[in-house]
Structure 1
Amino acid sequence: MSWAAARRGQYIFGIFLVFSIPIGIAAFFLWYTPPTCFDGKINQGEVAIDRGGPCELLADSQTADATVLFARPFEVVPGVWSALAHVDNPNFEAAAYKVPYAFKLVDEDGILVAERQGTMTITPNGVTPVFEGGIRSGERRVAQAFFELLEDPVWLARKSAANHVTVRERELLTDGTVRLTATIENLTLNDITKLVVVVSLFDLEDNALAASKTVIERLAARGKEQVIFTWPRPFPREVGRFEIQPIVIPEKR
């Protein structure tokens, strides 16, 4: 090959590169689809298809089942009952939202007296209390309560936000009607809306004795609000301890 022919070859090859590289780059971006958590593939460090790794949805192998620690009915006045359950989530950084549940209240013969359904948020790494009030039983007396999750929780990668709120100035008065007061304080720079606060009271043998719930519609940033719980009748046993638990919506990791 002559020197001139070699130069022409180099020239043609250079022109080819000038046009082919931009075309190749354009084609790459035109046809390339970046991995997502909804593409039905394990392609970005997931543990299972679209679960784990950078995805919010967690794989079954990453979580353990939530367990119901107990469910108890409480007679408020004749014919009206409330019910409390404690659900334990052993997963350190996993939460589930809008999990459907059912309380079933039965008489001493195991016959269903009343049922109440709802949905709950299961917060990470600990116990989430569930309370339902105003359950009417008619003339039948409730002997036992059962609580069940109606669907398996869909676990999302979340961390607890319980430290965003604190409970102060707790006071329990048991002379005549029972009254419990506390101050709920928002430690963050953001407002918290529709904050559910559940109180669980236990006797000296640590059996659930009573419960109640309130909702703070808006707790201002760095703000405080007093909550008041009352019961119309004295408790049948002495209060040994009580827990006041604000249910703060978990954060993304």
Structure 2
Amino acid sequence: MASWARQRRFAYGLIVIGAVALAAGIPIFKAMYKPPSCFDGVKDGDETGVDCGGSCRRLCPGAFMAPIVPWTRMSETAPGLYNVAAYIINPNTGVEAQGVPYKMILYDAKGIPVAEADGSVTLPPGRNTLAFQAAVNAGKNPPIMAMFQFTAAPEWFAAPDALSALSVTDKRYSDSQSGSSLSVFLKNNGPEPMRGITVYAVLYDKDGNVADFSKTILDYIPAGGSVTAPFTWPESHAGRVVSIEVLPVAQ
């Protein structure tokens, strides 16, 4: 009988100890437990890599194609001052990279660098864009070539096309001896206003070569509304322009 009583007291003791341990352990567990996230530096949850893939917006290496830069050009706007642009193709649909750093270098006829410009560019999903630098000062050594390079690898994130509701309705180009100008007419076909739109324009000759380029910024496009993006160049293109490409980007 005494043995049975001791066993019962022992069992009760274990129950009490277990209850106390559980009561103390739950808050400690809650305090120490960190649910899987896309920013914890650990491959967890449904991630296919460390903090990438799965439900994370950031894509893992190998899940995207690298951007393509088919050309870099410069255009003199005043003595010693040049606008410089690199055309960038983002072959990834539904994927963007924001604030990708780059460097542009201008070289003279001897291959000596005469000017550099650093900047960053957003690569919108499924769209082409320009990395653009205005009024790069090359001094007294006229450059003959421009080079472009990314200074860090783009970080890609899943993203919708913010300008899917924006359309170009008309383009009107004029050329004269004193200069040239372009008016691009855009319409916001969506139910929400658009803000902070950068619009690039690229002029091409009959052979598909770049004749010139420029950019303008639109602060606001109302829902269902239309706006005009103006562009001007200080010199005539002498009838060389036969086609125009418009590249809008949401900033």
Query: Match of 2:52?
Result: 51
Partner of 2:220: 218
TM-score w.r.t. length of structure 1: 0.83
Superposed displacement of residue 59, structure 1: 0.7
Q: Given the alignment, which residue of 208, 230, 233 partners 2:232?
A: 230
**Alpha-carbon contact 1:205-1:240 (below 8 Å) kept:** no
Instruction: Identify the residue that residue 70 of structure 2 maps to in structure 1.
Output: 69
What is the 5 A alignment of 1:92-241? 92-176=93-177, 177-235=179-237, 238-241=240-243
1:50-83 residue CA offsets vs partner (Å, 9 max, x unmatched): 1111112111021222121110111223322211
Code of the residue aligned with 1:107 in structure 2: it is D
Long gaps (5+) in structure 2: 1-7
CA distance in 1, matches of 2:67, 2:26: 49
Change (3 A) 1:44 1:80: same
Question: Any conservation in 1 of the 2:120–2:131 contact (CA below 8 Å)?
Answer: no
Q: 1:3-22 alignment to 2 at 5 Å?
A: none
Work out whether 1:78 is the aligned partner of 2:76: no
Separation (CA, whole Å) in 2 of partners of 1:137 and 1:29:
61
| Identity in percent | 29
Deviations 1:18-49 (A, max 9, x none): x79x9598787566432111233322211101
Q: Which amino acid in 2 is paired with 1:103?
A: M
Structure 1 residues 27 and 114: alpha-carbon distance in aligned structure 2, compared to 1, 3 A threshold:
closer
Counterpart residue identity of residue 203, structure 1: D
Query: Structure 1 counterpart of 2:67, which letter?
Result: A
Partner Cα distance (2:119, 2:101) in 1: 6
Sort the Cα spacing of 1:239 and 1:30 in 2 relative to 1 into closer, same or farther, 3 A: same
In 2, Cα distance between equivalents of 1:126 and 1:218 = 21
Calculate the TM-score normalised by the size of structure 2.
0.83
Structure 1 residues 45 and 77: alpha-carbon distance in aligned structure 2, compared to 1, 3 A threshold: same
RMSD: 2.9
Q: In the aligned structure 2, how far is the partner of 1:26 from the partner of 1:84?
A: 58
Query: For residue 128 of structure 1, what is the amino acid of its counterpart?
Result: T
Shift of 1:91: 1.9
Contact 2:198 2:216 in 1 (8 A): yes
Query: 2:62 is paired with a residue of what secondary structure?
Result: helix
**Inter-CA distance 147–233: structure 2 relative to 1 (3 Å threshold):** same
Paired amino acid for 1:51: C
Pair 1:242 & 2:227 matched: no
Number of aligned residue pairs: give it.
242
Gaps of 5+ in 1: 1-7
Q: Relative to structure 1, is the Cα distance of residues 25 and 234 closer, same or farther in structure 2, using a 3 angstrom cutoff? A: same
Within 1, Cα distance between the matches of 2:80 and 2:31? 68
Q: Cα distance, 1:210 vs. partner?
A: 0.2
